[in-house]
Structure 1
Amino acid sequence: MKLFSPPLILFLIFILDPLACEEKSSKIQSSKERIVELPTDPNNKAEEEIKITDIETEVIAARQTNDNTIKDQLVGVYFMPSWNTSPDPNRDIDSFWSCLMGLEDCSSIKNTAVWGPRGRVYDNRYPYEGPFLDRKPHPSLGGFYKRDDPQVARKQLEYMKSYGIDFFAYNWFFGRHYYYHRYFGPQSTLYYPEGWQIDPNRDGRVAVPGLEEWNEQLTVLLQENEKLPPEKQMKWAINWCDDSDDRWRLWIDIGSPESISAGRNYEGEKPDKALYLKVHEKITQLWIDKYFKRSDYLKSEDGRPIVYIYFPQDTESRAAFYGITMRELLDRSKVIAVRNGLKGIKFIAVASGAMLPRERQYGMPTQWRANNSKEIWRGGQYVNRLLFQNYVPRLKGMGFEGLTAYVYHNFLSLENRSFNDMRRTYQSHWNRWSEFYKNDPNFEYQVPVAMGWDYRPAGGTWPQTTGFPSEPEKDRVHSNKATFKAKLEDAKKLSEKYQSSNGSTIMICCWNEYLEGNHIEPTEGHGFSYLEAIKEVFLERRMGFNPSPLVSVASSKNP
């Protein structure tokens, strides 16, 4: 998943008197016991302490077991939402379908922020190779379906369940910069924690900004899921994608002279540390109020809701600008969960990155530094970059209890130029991180699997401001049912070998990453073949069927 620009969301802003509100900032103190102080109410009128070490001791004790039997794998799949890219509210241009069908309406290839002033440039050396109609969803799904079609959502849930997928991790996005008005009809239903401060003199303008983005499909999926009998419902989890630099730049623009002049903000609204922490608390409270208490939300064996965090280095870097560690952010969320009657939250990192010293400039940043600390809206730089193998050992200390991946593109000098290459790359990561964590029963490596990679519908791998992709040869990582099934077999075998540390979860990318060539959802091109492979490896094994022969890496051919 690679995103470059958030959608434009229009809100009516009422320009009245300046907002006058003062909030005491929440405090996080570092100490031997890592005590986190949080307000007991949203207006910060009182404070109480919760000792994180006490919570962790109970959680660890609850997870420990003497059961060494091999358990069936839990199979998860990432679900990527699409969105409307049209500036005209009366016209819907789906971010996926528009790029599969041609060039005219594809916003990905017109994105000047990543492709340069001319957008993606096609010529004899870098020709257009679309349209990509073999990726059109299967007729049983209605072809290029509408994102919020309940019948499509029900079919998707039905296919996942019947073909052996246990849960989906929905790629969840949050625009933390959006202010809205509780007394304005279209915005009155947007989530805001009960009792939190608003300005009645500005049509109920919220004191703490931020709202969910691209959640249309999640809403309809959950509505349809709860209509099903319990035994047919899918479990699901949040995969928080806090990776967009565009969203960060919109956040740091809060209260800038331009934003105040344009009426987007009022005097006194600024993206300082106190507001950053309040927005994080709002995100956590939203998860609790809307999702965690649902019976279909994925939970750990000890009953804690599981949250995946995609590219944690991005969240870490931006928090570090305020002097906040990732550990403090995650601990803050765990405390809020406990206060709301839950047992905490289990966080899993979804991470990958550059591994060679010559690639350090593309490494995983740990800090964002403003060009001008007094005028942060002028931008900044991501600094203190680490290579992936140096970043991973830090995860447990950051508050994570597991690691998995979305897509591995390389392992040291091994790079993906075919599906055979990808299988070798993945096996190298599997072995390294399974061995690394094998003696740690409190940190799991969830074995990731991907069906391939082909970014051509979005312009190619990787976008450069010259208008051309830098490595288009990597857009031929294609599998078929046999080679994908062989990769699943390898993943299953390794997961069983290291089950004492890896747990029993296998994460598949992806249900519907159509622009990246990772889409196991049935299509006109590959039909149900990828779902059939999952069913044969996982579901039929549970029912006692014998496995089909493996296809080795050495003998399999890249179709």
Structure 2
Amino acid sequence: EDQTVKHLLAGKILKTTGDVAHGTQVMQWLEENWFADDAYLKLEGRPVMLVFGPQHFTKGQWLQMASRLRKRPRLYALPHLSQEAGADGAFGWPPVHGGKEIVPAVWRGYLNSLYSRGERGESIIATVFPKFHDIYRQAGLHDSYGSLDDQDGKTFTQTLEFAWRSNSRLIQIATWNDYGEGTTIEPTATHGYRYLETLQKRRKTQSGKAFPFVPDDLRLPIMLYELRKQRAGEKAVTEKLNRASGLLFSSKCAAARTLLTQCRTEGGK
């Protein structure tokens, strides 16, 4: 979020004329530490960069800050700011505003409008969200942006289907764990694995037998975490848990489950 630069200027941490130099330095750091990583998302050979705004830098400043990079990133901005910023495309977000409750007809209209821009040739990152319910008013920060109901999980399912049917090459989940805005899809005591299972089911529908994962696989990381706490300090168990962790990172869930089950039922012996 380039709005942080505004705060650095207001706090006199940056000089008034130092914003572009600071931005250039940050972009160079990103290129060296993130963009060069094989795991970093790239589209047509260029790193993808999403900016929530922009809220400070202008079109010319973005070009200036990227001018020294080996590959200029593909800049995506919010839909109402992307053209003004000279961005390569736009990404969607839960369309809350004015402290209002956003009903399904409103957010469907927002998504239809966004994806129609993609049909006209604009590069659009589709968005999927479960709900929106922020805590800003309760926390005394400022008024709430508004709310968007989860419809007992239907909002996530429906926005996922909208995104899947769009011609967008990329889909963003908004978000993984922003508890402050209530857009969380990671497992919780309230909703369990509902959202991850919905995603997994959609992937399997697309890939068929080529998709090897099952709902129980989603529970293996927490199983590993709990065993690390329960058996902390036990060398033999820790070695098995480290091996199980490596298997999970390699997507070898069946083998990881076997090791974790051994650690739970046999104490790692």
TM-score (norm 2): 0.67
Corresponding residue for 1:434? Answer: 115
Corresponding residue for 1:310? Answer: 52
Q: Give the one of 194, 197, 200 matched to 1:529.
A: 194
CA contact (8 A) 1:455 1:461 kept: no
- Measure the CA separation in 1 of the matches of 2:155 and 2:45: 36
Corresponding residue for 2:78? Answer: 350
CA contact (8 A) 1:298 1:306 kept: yes
Instruction: Please state how far the C-alpha of 1:253 moved relative to its aligned partner.
Output: 4.3
Instruction: Please state how far the C-alpha of 1:430 moved relative to its aligned partner.
Output: 2.1
Corresponding residue for 2:40? Answer: 297
Structure 1 residue 336 corresponds to structure 2 residue 71: no
Q: Deviations over 1:388-412 (max 9, x none)?
A: 4xx45x34xx3311111232115xx
Instruction: Please state how far the C-alpha of 1:489 moved relative to its aligned partner.
Output: 1.6
CA contact (8 A) 2:176 2:186 kept: yes
Corresponding residue for 2:101? Answer: 416
Q: Deviations over 1:192-246 (max 9, x none)?
A: xxxxxxxxxxxxxxxxxxxxxxxxxxxxxxxxxxxxxxxxxxxxxxxxx1224xx
- Measure the CA separation in 2 of the matches of 1:287 and 1:508: 22
- Measure the CA separation in 2 of the matches of 1:433 and 1:405: 7
Structure 1 residue 242 corresponds to structure 2 residue 9: no
- Closer, same or farther in 2 for the Cα pair 1:450/1:470, shift >3 Å? closer
- Closer, same or farther in 2 for the Cα pair 1:304/1:283, shift >3 Å? same
Q: Deviations over 1:478-516 (max 9, x none)?
A: 3333442233123312x1xxx2xxx32121211001121
Gaps of 5+ in 1: 1-240, 256-269, 317-325, 352-387, 546-559
Q: Percent identity?
A: 19
Letter in 2 for 1:444: S
- Measure the CA separation in 2 of the matches of 1:470 and 1:490: 27
Q: Deviations over 1:159-214 (max 9, x none)?
A: xxxxxxxxxxxxxxxxxxxxxxxxxxxxxxxxxxxxxxxxxxxxxxxxxxxxxxxx
Instruction: Please state how far the C-alpha of 1:454 moved relative to its aligned partner.
Output: 1.7
CA contact (8 A) 2:74 2:87 kept: yes
- Measure the CA separation in 2 of the matches of 1:432 and 1:403: 12
CA contact (8 A) 2:101 2:147 kept: no
Gaps of 5+ in 2: 211-269
Q: Which of 1 and 2 has greater Rg? A: 1
Q: Give the one of 485, 488, 496 matched to 2:160.
A: 488
- SS in structure 2 of the partner of residue 344 of structure 1: coil
Q: Give the one of 4, 8, 12 matched to 1:254.
A: 12
- Measure the CA separation in 2 of the matches of 1:444 and 1:521: 28
Letter in 2 for 1:304: R
Question: Which protein, 1 or 2, shows the higher relative CO under an 8 Å CA cutoff with sep ≥ 6?
Answer: 1
Letter in 1 for 2:163: A
- Measure the CA separation in 1 of the matches of 2:134 and 2:128: 18
Instruction: Please state how far the C-alpha of 1:350 moved relative to its aligned partner.
Output: 3.2
After superposition, where does 1:15-30 map in structure 2 within 5 Å? Answer: none
Instruction: Please state how far the C-alpha of 1:426 moved relative to its aligned partner.
Output: 2.4
CA contact (8 A) 2:49 2:74 kept: yes
Instruction: Please state how far the C-alpha of 1:444 moved relative to its aligned partner.
Output: 0.9
Corresponding residue for 1:327? Answer: 59
- Measure the CA separation in 2 of the matches of 1:435 and 1:537: 23
C-alpha RMSD of the superposition? 3.0
Letter in 2 for 1:278: A
- Closer, same or farther in 2 for the Cα pair 1:249/1:306, shift >3 Å? closer
CA contact (8 A) 1:485 1:537 kept: no
Query: Higher helix fraction: Structure 1 or Structure 2?
Result: 2
- SS in structure 2 of the partner of residue 480 of structure 1: helix
Instruction: Please state how far the C-alpha of 1:462 moved relative to its aligned partner.
Output: 9.0
Structure 1 residue 401 corresponds to structure 2 residue 145: no
Q: Deviations over 1:77-111 (max 9, x none)?
A: xxxxxxxxxxxxxxxxxxxxxxxxxxxxxxxxxxx
CA contact (8 A) 2:131 2:155 kept: no
CA contact (8 A) 1:449 1:509 kept: yes
- Closer, same or farther in 2 for the Cα pair 1:517/1:470, shift >3 Å? closer
Letter in 2 for 1:299: K
Provide the aligned length of Structure 1 versus Structure 2: 210
- Closer, same or farther in 2 for the Cα pair 1:252/1:455, shift >3 Å? closer
Instruction: Please state how far the C-alpha of 1:459 moved relative to its aligned partner.
Output: 3.7
Q: Bigger CA drift: 443-452 or 525-534?
A: 443-452
Instruction: Please state how far the C-alpha of 1:446 moved relative to its aligned partner.
Output: 1.5
Corresponding residue for 1:455? Answer: 134
- SS in structure 1 of the partner of residue 111 of structure 2: helix
Q: Deviations over 1:258-290 (max 9, x none)?
A: xxxxxxxxxxxx7143x3222121111111121
- Measure the CA separation in 1 of the matches of 2:152 and 2:139: 21
Letter in 1 for 2:3: D
Letter in 2 for 1:271: K
